[in-house]
Structure 1
Amino acid sequence: MAKPDKVQSTINSLVQLGNSLNEFLQQNRAQIPDFKDDLHQELQQHIQLAKHHNSWFTEDEILFCLQSWSEALTEKNLHFWLDQYTFKEKIAKRIGLVLAGNIPLVGLHDVISVLLSGNHVVAKYSSKDKLLIHWVVKFLMREDQSFANRIELTKDQLKNFDAVIATGSNNTARYFEYYFRNKPHIIRKNRNSIAILTGKETSADFANLAEDIFRYFGLGCRSVSKLMVPKGYDFTSFFEGLFHKKALLQHDKYTNNYDYNKAVYLMSSVKLFDNGFLILKEDQGLSSPIGCLFYEFYNSKSELENEISKQKENLQCVVGNPEFSSQIDTAFGQSQHPEVWDYADGIDTLDFLLKLN
């Protein structure tokens, strides 16, 4: 389906971004990397700086993020995503974005969506993730000079915008709802992901589930923070399947959180399962702290599905074997591999942007 020239030009720039990231990653894997592109050299410097600026942004996590975006930003993916929408020439709006900083480049999808909708980005970046988003914007501006007039990044309060997309905690969301009440808006709150176990999982399932739990140290809304398990479930195989992640203890901040939370629970005489780097705690809550995973028993499939339905507004992903239940939307190991058409909180951002008057 033919797109307006501005949209097609944006698609072309995004494809070039994906290609450039792929090229960077290939060069980075060399024993002695040789970055011939100045921006690739700058990206490598940003990666080193980012992990010192925010200790959760390790080199491994950033490279995983860049790999994911390099695979997502292809001509095929972008057209598959965008072909379901109708694009019309219109006067561009200034879209205020409040970007989160819990995982690397978590706000990039919003930036891309605004650009593809033909609107202008006015983004308040997070101090926790300022280096990588600035690099992406610099790359896009090199590809297409018109982006210099379409993208603004600021560390200050948003000003002069027509609509807003803001992401934050449940507490900040209440502030956002009030502050942006007179503008068209999308306000995202806390969401968590859960995994459903049946007792029939394989060692491969658990290895994949480990990725869903520990990628980005569990800080993403797509990170599994709770297990739903059948009554009387034996966690032995689960712990065995996760043991290859014990290197997490080499990360000081993760270890400090794990030790602290374990001490707090033990002082409260809370019953725990513990494998030396992950605590399992029976809890009805969804949001477990770092180094801990909540679990809850279910008695029947119908009881489980009813509980998930009640929690739908608080869930980002339901991980497990899709053959077990229609409520499961993500296979083991796939929660951290969203497609470009997978929207946070299930809200169609692009549809919202395209329908602005």
Structure 2
Amino acid sequence: MVQIDKKKCFVELGRFLSQFSLDNNEKNETVLHNDLYYDSFVDLIHLSQSHNGWFTPEQVYFAIQSWAEALQEDNLNQWLSGYNFSDVKPKTVGLILAGNIPLVGFHDFLSVLISGHKVLVKTSSNDQHLIKFLAKYLIAVNSEIENFITFTEGKLENFDAVIATGSNNTARYFEFYFKDKPNIIRKNRNSVAVLTGKESHADLVNLGEDIFRYFGLGCRNVSKLFVPKAYDFQPFFQAIYEYRDVIFYEKYSNNYDYNKAVFLMSNFKLLDNEFLTLKEDNSYASPISSVFYEFYDNLEELQLRLKNEADQIQCIVSGGAIENSIPFGQTQKPKLWNYADNVDTLAFLTSLNN
């Protein structure tokens, strides 16, 4: 099966996904195999929360719409244009996927298939159903792609390379277990925002999207703020008030109550608006419903520090204060060429013959 045929499958998948949105599911009669898959996918979206309590319809629809946009033909062409796949000899690449946000492992799945390899997938128990459904749809579009896709419930066996995502603890196991295979091992990372005090209300509202999307569970969610000395947090709290309804979701509310209680019992000083706590802390990884903050004296010194600690950081958000940072509100809208941990997955996959 040549790459152009696989690309057509994913473009068709993008057309299928474009029918589904939180505000309005709108069936497009020109999309292939809607008679078999449209209603079933609507059902799965609304069943997802029973499989994983964090996968509310709103969050699942957001992930679906993100992939519908990413899988447009122009985006795929732009992404693939910088690589040479002519020498790729199909290998079996094992994937150990995370399950913190809906379809978080789909980029690796897409990358392996589009580069000409076979994929052996071990899904997370927290996200078992969505990616398998999309695989079934791809197979319906072109049955040949089934020869390139295998899902496994047990441990990975009979593979040539591996891409594994997990915590810092599981990464140590992965690094030992897969030391004799070409691999990409992903660990915990967090995202940060750098504020100057000159941000507009709209900037800070968009920052709220970076904080609250997926309830803050993703590595691209902002979990830490860097602010100048004497920073006034009032505009920040006024802007993120738009996200106040997050507290009505029970799992988030339980985390908010628990983490706030732990902080207060430890006599930590908090800034609090009844659905988010801010705590001054040097760490990057804050618990759900909390964001850490730290004061800085000098932007150049801060930029150097962030560069030196890049292995802990997934994204840096700012209004241009930091070089190569992401605009506010864009962390959960990565392009196909925005690789996790800044590790070029396609370059890795095309090098497997070397």
Q: Same fold (TM over 0.5)?
A: yes
The yes-or-no answer on 1:356 pairing with 2:346 is: no
Distance in 1, Cα, partners of 2:22 & 2:236? 34
Structure 2: unaligned runs, 5 residues or longer: 28-32
1:44 maps to 42
Q: Distance in 2 between matches of 1:179 and 1:30?
A: 46
After superposition, the C-alpha distances for 1:85-119 in whole angstroms (9 at most, x for unaligned) are 01115431000000000000000000100001110
Per-residue Cα deviation, 1:26-52 (whole angstroms, up to 9, x for no partner): 994469xxx953211111111122111
Residue 239 of structure 2 is aligned to residue 248 of structure 1: no
| Aligned pairs for 1:184-195 within 5 A | 184-195=182-193
Could you list the runs of 5+ residues in structure 1 that have no partner in the other structure? Answer: none
Amino acid at match of 1:124: K
| C-alpha distance 26-260 of structure 1, shift in aligned 2 (>3 A) | closer
Partner of 1:269: 267
Partner of 1:105: 103
Indicate how the Cα distance of structure 1 residues 256 and 27 shifts in structure 2: closer, same or farther if over 3 A, else same: closer
Aligned to 1:297, what secondary structure does the other structure show? strand
- State the AA in 2 paired with 1:284: N
Q: For residues 290-347 of structure 1, what are the alpha-carbon distances to aligned partners after superposition, in whole Å with 9 as ceiling and x for unaligned?
A: 010000000111221122112111111000112x231x42000000100011100000
TM-score by length of 1: 0.95
Q: Distance in 2 between matches of 1:205 and 1:90?
A: 44
* Residue pairs, 1:220-259, within 5 angstroms: 220-259=218-257
- Report what 1:331 is aligned to: 327
Aligned partners of 1:127 and 1:155 also within 8 Å: no
- Could you tell me which amino acid in structure 1 is paired with residue 308 of structure 2? K
Q: Would the aligned equivalents of 1:122 and 1:161 in 2 still touch at CA under 8 Å?
A: yes
Residue among 197, 205, 208 paired with 1:207:
205
- 2:86 is aligned to 88
Structure 1 moving runs of 4+ over 2 Å: 23-31, 35-38
- Is the contact made by 1:24 and 1:40 (CA closer than 8 Å) also made in structure 2? no
2:19 is matched with 23
Could you say what secondary structure the match of 1:37 adopts?
helix
Match of 2:195 in 1: 197
Which of residues 118, 136, 139 in structure 1 aligns to 2:137?
139
Whole-angstrom CA distance in 2 between matches of 1:301 and 1:24: 42
Give the paired residue count. 348
Q: Aligned residue for 2:30?
A: none
Quick one: distance in 1 between partners of 2:144 and 2:53? 35
In 2 relative to 1, CA 56–293 (structure 1 residues): closer, same or farther, beyond 3 Å?
A: same
CA pair 306-96 structure 1, distance change in 2 beyond 3 A: same
Partner of 2:285: 287
Alpha-carbon distance, 1:146 to partner: 1.2
In 2, are the aligned partners of 1:213 and 1:223 still within 8 Å (CA)?
A: yes
3-state DSSP of counterpart to 2:16: helix
TM-score, with structure 2 as normaliser: 0.96
Q: Deviations over 1:36-73 (max 9, x none)?
A: 53211111111122111111000000000000000000
Over residues 149-194 of structure 1, what are the superposed CA-to-partner deviations in whole Å (9 max), with x where a residue is unaligned? 1101122211110000000000000000000001010001111100
CA drift at 1:273:
0.2
